[in-house]
Amino acid sequence: MKEDTFRHKGLRARLVEELVAKGITNRAVLAAINAVPRHLFLDSSFVKFAYQDKAFPIGAGQTISQPSTVALQSQLLNVGAGARVLEVGTGSGYQSAVLTEMGINVFSIERQPELFKKTQTFLPSLGYNRLRLFLGDGYEGLPDLAPFDAILVTAGAASLPQKLLVQLKIGAVMVVPIGTSKQVMTRIRRLSDDNFEQETFGECAFVPMLSGVAK
Ligand code: SAH
């Protein structure tokens, strides 16, 4: 049942306070997290945990990222309404919904057909119609729709996904967790055609970014 009750809204408001306490300052990000009914993105058995700051299984061996990670990545993109953002790893669609709430035009790629199909009907059912979903390999990006105002990778990349770098506008950033068992949240800015700058934002844990489309 797609219910968003006062109780859910209350739990969300508390989660937003927790994110503020953890250092999230971007108002558009906080407003989006306050607006997206995260409990509807989880399997029903996990609903009561939906507003805790934790990651949870979503099927196909994948997870919905924890809210503080979604908030941090959204904030690090440093873009606002109207921006065109490429997301790698649609997963549950929660991060896509948060970006859409921020007024961002989302292009999101998923390699698991099962998850792709689910979000294709689920996100529009919640009123998120503007975003575009693709079944494909995020390592390839979407060259025909590039360049983007920002790129967000929501799976752990063993090394920097090279083909994505050239799909950034000059001045735009890619936020990507880099590493294998654990990752370092990394932000790469494209300063010119072939000049990039790198910053890091602490350790994180994501499911691995894998090549190719899954069977
Ligand atoms: N943004 C998601 C997080 C999902 S976890 C959310 O809010 O729920 C990471 C997702 O990345 C998984 O669904 C996984 O299947 C996907 N993934 C991993 N490697 C990928 C690749 N090369 N291309 C596209 N998606 C990929």
Catalytic residue among 45, 65, 159, 192: 65
114 within a domain of the structure (yes/no): yes
Ligand 1, residues 154, 164, 185: which to mutate, most atoms within 8 A of Cβ?
A: 154
Residue 160 belongs to domain with CATH number: 3.40.50.150
174 within a domain of the structure (yes/no): yes
pLDDT in tens, 50-101: 999 999 998 888 999 999 999 999 999 999 999 999 999 999 999 999 999 9
CA distances from 183 to 1, 178, 208 (A): 36, 5, 10
Write the residue with the smallest CA distance to atom 16 of ligand 1: 89
How many domains would you assign to the chain?
1
186: Cβ below 6 Å to ligand 1?
no
30 within a domain of the structure (yes/no): no
Tokens of 42: 């989880």
Ligand 1, residues 116, 175, 210, 211: which to mutate, most atoms within 8 A of Cβ?
A: 210
The domain in which residue 170 lies consists of: 54-204
The three-state (H, E, C) secondary structure of 2-63, written as one string: CCCCHHHHHHHHHHHHHHHHCCCCCHHHHHHHHHCCHHHHCCHHHHHHCCCCCCEEEECCEE
Q: What is the pLDDT of residue 1?
A: 60
Angle at which helices 6-21 and 67-77 cross, to 10°: 60
Q: What is the pLDDT of residue 60?
A: 86
22 within a domain of the structure (yes/no): no
pLDDT in tens, 95-132: 999 999 999 999 999 999 999 999 999 999 999 999 99
210: Cβ below 6 Å to ligand 1?
yes
Q: What is the pLDDT of residue 61?
A: 86
pLDDT at 152 over 70: yes
Which ligand 1 atom minimizes the distance to the CA of 112? Answer: 15
Is position 65 annotated as part of the catalytic site?
Answer: yes
32 within a domain of the structure (yes/no): no
177 within a domain of the structure (yes/no): yes
